[in-house]
């Protein structure tokens, strides 16, 4: 009985200084994707015939005109970058197209004429496809 009274009176004294330390975040967490751009880029690759037969690339010529324009810009300039909030609708549909091709991984290919590229697409800190994977 005496032991319970001591613990009940000492418990709040011991836990008092830690109050607030056990709580959740104070709202000062990193902002995540806020302010990070959407990026599209490509890395040219040389594939063997068997590798070419094993991949199902996005075909540049089959893309809608607006998506082809974005891809051409990324190929010509090294990458296409836009603030995520200002992304054009064509970039959203291209993102969906790329995401459908990942098959649970991050590797997606694009074929333009006879040249193959690995696709890179990042929306903020969310990587949809990455050429190095």
Question: What is the per-residue burial (b if ≥16 Cβ within 10 Å, else e) of 90-119?
Answer: bbeebbebbeebbeeebebbbbbeeebbbb
CA distance 35 to 85: 9
Query: Alpha carbon 91 to chain centroid distance?
Result: 14
- Residues (pLDDT < 50) of the chain are 2-4, 6-7, 14-15, 18-31
For the chain, the domains span 37-129
User: In this predicted model, what pLDDT tens digit does every residue of 26-47 receive, in sequence order?
Assistant: 443 344 556 799 999 999 999 9
pLDDT score, position 104 = 77
pLDDT score, position 131 = 87
pLDDT score, position 35 = 79
Lookup: tokens for 38: 């959407």
Q: DSSP labels for 85-117?
A: GG--HHHHHHHHHHHHHSTTSS--EEEETTEEE
């Amino acid at each position: 009985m005496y032991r319970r009274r001591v613990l009940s009176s000492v418990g709040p004294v011991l836990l008092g200084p830690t109050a607030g330390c056990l709580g959740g975040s104070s709202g000062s967490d990193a902002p995540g994707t806020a302010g990070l751009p959407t990026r599209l880029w490509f890395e040219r690759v040389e594939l063997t015939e068997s590798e070419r037969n094993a991949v199902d690339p996005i075909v540049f010529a089959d893309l809608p005109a607006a998506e082809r324009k974005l891809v051409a810009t990324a190929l010509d300039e090294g990458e296409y970058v836009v603030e995520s909030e200002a992304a054009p609708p064509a970039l959203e549909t291209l993102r969906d197209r790329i995401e459908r091709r990942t098959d649970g991984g991050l590797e997606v290919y694009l074929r333009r004429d006879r040249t193959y590229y690995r696709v890179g697409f990042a929306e903020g800190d969310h990587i949809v496809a990455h050429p190095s994977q």
